[in-house]
Amino acid sequence: MSTLKIENLHVSIGEKEILKGIDLVVNTGETHAIMGPNGNGKSTLLSTIMGHPRYTVTQGSIYIDDKNVLEMSVDERSKAGLFLGMQYPQEIPGVKTSDFLRAAVNAHQEKPVSLFKFIRMLEKNIDELHIDENLAHRYLNEGFSGGEKKRNEILQMKLLQPKFALLDEIDSGLDVDALKIVAKAINDMQSDDFGCIMVSHYERLFELVPPTHVHVIVDGKIILSGGKEVIEKIDQEGYEWVKKLGVEIAGEEEKKPILLENCANKERIKSK
């Protein structure tokens, strides 16, 4: 068993603090769902774990077992078993998808896989994901539909066999049939040696890939963790109730300004 352990993670983009103390422990064998309103730091969390240079870690730690992830380059993180399925995969004109995939697979091996073996592997996975064969011969993500981009991320995951997959809105842009195919691919990965963090807004994905844990991120903090009852409540009621809960939980240090504002209001009322 392996453990991805995030402690008191604070992350900034430039001067702006986005993550304000995230604690999260994911063991292999577990599937963690992360939900939360847009713009609250979900992608920031996953991209920071993978080592995106835009994000600066100002406090806290990320470990896989006894290995310090924050000291690793992105390719070292990948070799350590991390994989990020991006919310918005980049288009890279000039790089053929199959060449990219083969280079990625080879970077994970001591000896490169033979071309024959790679093609067999690629064809099997393309087939399972119902991806158009021509896609592999096109430039990476260039002109791919939203759904094709997402399936191509899952194809990478299947080829690289990570220990921890971080899947950022992997269901966006997928029609119902494609969603089922992607969900099956994620479920096929499940084992005692695979852990997963899935960011999504939709109950539908979590019905097909049931999480063992559910967390809600508001304003750069996990304000609530629980089981599937959290997903049901968000599906029915949206995020308004969670936000209110967030203000209460995060309230201690924010009490003062709230009280001052109340006082100011009282003063205003009195003076009327």
- Determine if 43 is a binding residue for Mg ion (CB under 5 A): yes
Within 29-68, the residues that bind ligand ADP by CB under 6 A are: 36, 38-44, 54
Instruction: Give the span between the Cα atoms of 272 and 268, in whole angstroms.
Output: 6
Q: Contact between 18 and ligand ADP (CB under 6 A)?
A: yes
Q: Which residue is nearest to Mg ion (CB)?
A: 43
Examine residue 200 and tell whether it contacts ligand ADP (CB under 6 A): no
Residue spans of alpha helices (H) in 51-114: 74-79, 97-107
Q: Least Å distance between CB 46 and Mg ion?
A: 8
Q: Compute the chain's Rg from CA coordinates.
A: 21
∠ CA 195-220-66, nearest 5°, is 40
User: Least distance from C-beta 44 to ligand ADP, angstroms?
Assistant: 3
Residue 59, classed as helix, strand or coil, is strand
Q: Tell whether residue 89 is a contact of ligand ADP (CB under 6 A).
A: no
* Dist. CA 75–CA 60, nearest whole Å: 21
Regarding 152 and contact with Mg ion (CB under 5 A), the answer is no
Strands (E), the chain: 3-13, 16-27, 31-35, 56-64, 67-68, 82-85, 92-96, 139-140, 164-168, 195-199, 213-218, 221-226
Nearest distance from C-beta of residue 242 to ligand ADP, angstroms: 13
In whole angstroms, how close is the CB of 36 to ligand ADP at the nearest point?
6
The helix-helix angle for 97-107 and 115-128 (nearest 10°) equals: 110
Closest CB 21 distance from ligand ADP, rounded Å: 15
Site for Mg ion in 47-106 (CB under 5 A): 87
Q: Which is nearer to ligand ADP, 101 or 170 (CB)?
A: 170
Quote the least distance from Cβ 49 to ligand ADP, whole Å: 12
Q: How many residues bind ligand ADP (CB under 6 A)?
A: 12
Question: Is 181 buried (19+), middle (13-18) or exposed (0-12) by CB count in 10 A?
Answer: middle
Contacts with ligand ADP, residue ranges (CB under 6 A): 13, 16, 18, 36, 38-44, 54
The footprint of Mg ion (CB under 5 A) covers 42-43, 87
